[in-house]
Structure 1
């Protein structure tokens, strides 16, 4: 069966003054249709660079990325992208923000409204649909971004630290909501995070990357029930997987180059 995402020999080199920085040094990774895969690893391991190349926002130096067997050669509505910044239009309501991509695609008004309402309801913003972003909390803004991404019917959802700027309680609530949405929609998700617990709680597989050069260090299956809750987080099975991921992330040899890939790849999307 053809994987949803096939990353083959992926290499990315950035110029750095008179030198070069190898953000990715040959990455191979297959992700099946409907999987929820999280990427974790130390700073400089190429997580954001890999995400940006899969999204079509960055071009590789060598190697390839295929989605459904087709090479990625630029952005596509088939690949929804959500960054840590909400990127909402401040002058549009929640509903109009969610409808925006549908409008650009020429979807008729009645169908736009119906599809937007479905995903607004799905992310729990029914009573806030006609509010402007300035009236929303950070968590609500990120839920709006999630609804907007889902509304255009992407086959693949790419998320780069989407909950990183949120407080702990909001973050946990959004993790639960994202999991419920994924269980209903079963879109393939590739999710970048620095948070080991978040990586384990959300994923079917955790991909741990190593730095300098960026590469796959270990892939860890998350053998937990698909329906997860607070009891899951407190279970010994969860603790065992989290400890394994933690050791893989934090017990790696440290290289000399300390540049973070997020500083080098698409600065417009990173603070």
Structure 2
């Protein structure tokens, strides 16, 4: 184990995931090594089928690796944990509960008092800008508002890590940009560790301190690109020559990937 991995908040060490498919197998992840520091915002980008979501699901404890290890604070991941909040593209809100009650739901499982639940929920609802909709039901909310509610719910249980799987992928462009800014404001307030999966190059660069680029067949990391842009990220940053240069570097890494060794040898996964 390297010194970086020993000090990491999240450490992936030679992680492989192989699925049985018919009479053969499919190698979704082919030996991934990655260390994410405490408080770091990392985005993972790559073509469809490169194993981005599989990698996150293994970290979340929703799947198990075929080999290799994933550790959080040096402890192996062996299942889901409230210390790892997960946010998916689907909002997964309870339609019969208000915004407040959705955000309080995880807190009620922690045996927290009603007054404390209410205070904590209201704090995070305000943080994501939904105070005016605190008693609204999900059916009355826009897609962006539903996702903000899901983010508030994840934050409320006080996870040290947020795992986000294309949370803005189904939203229109303007809402997406707005939620990117909202997420960064929230992250800046407490600097939780974030692993954010996306297929959007602009989003990957705008949010992250580092962009992890993956390739497929098998899923693997081909490049890790440092994003040396100041926080807070603003429209000026997004329109800057430095952003354009980094965007081009990530774009080339994603869309100009050499064929995998397995394919050049005529192998199938």
Normalising by the residue count of structure 1, what TM-score does the alignment of the two structures yield?
0.93
* Aligned-pair CA distance for 1:142: 0.1
Does residue 85 in structure 1 map to residue 82 in structure 2?
Answer: no
What residue in structure 1 maps to residue 56 of structure 2? 51
* Aligned-pair CA distance for 1:183: 0.3
Q: Over the residues paired in the alignment, what is the CA RMSD in angstroms?
A: 1.3
Does residue 155 in structure 1 map to residue 160 in structure 2?
Answer: yes
* Equivalent residue in structure 1 for 2:44, among 21, 33, 39: 39
| Alpha carbons of structure 1 residues 84 and 4: separation in structure 2 relative to 1, 3 Å | same
Alignment of 1:189-208 (within 5 A): 189-208=194-213
Spell out structure 1 runs of 4+ moving beyond 2 A. Answer: 253-258
Does residue 65 in structure 1 map to residue 66 in structure 2?
Answer: no
* In structure 2, distance between residues paired with 1:100 and 1:86: 14
What residue in structure 1 maps to residue 124 of structure 2? 119
* In structure 1, distance between residues paired with 2:234 and 2:259: 35
- Gapped regions of structure 1 (runs ≥ 5): 259-271
What residue in structure 1 maps to residue 104 of structure 2? 99
Secondary structure, in 3 states, of the residue corresponding to 1:116?
helix
* In structure 1, distance between residues paired with 2:56 and 2:262: 21
Q: Which one has more relative contact order, counting CA pairs under 8 Å at least 6 apart?
A: 1
* Equivalent residue in structure 2 for 1:131, among 131, 136, 143: 136
* In structure 1, distance between residues paired with 2:154 and 2:48: 27
Normalising by the residue count of structure 2, what TM-score does the alignment of the two structures yield?
0.94
* In structure 1, distance between residues paired with 2:175 and 2:230: 23
How many residue pairs were aligned?
258
* In structure 1, distance between residues paired with 2:224 and 2:125: 34
* In structure 1, distance between residues paired with 2:259 and 2:243: 27
* Aligned-pair CA distance for 1:253: 2.3
| 1:198-238, Cα deviation, whole Å (9 max, x unpaired) | 00000000000111111110000000001111111110000
What residue in structure 1 maps to residue 80 of structure 2? 75
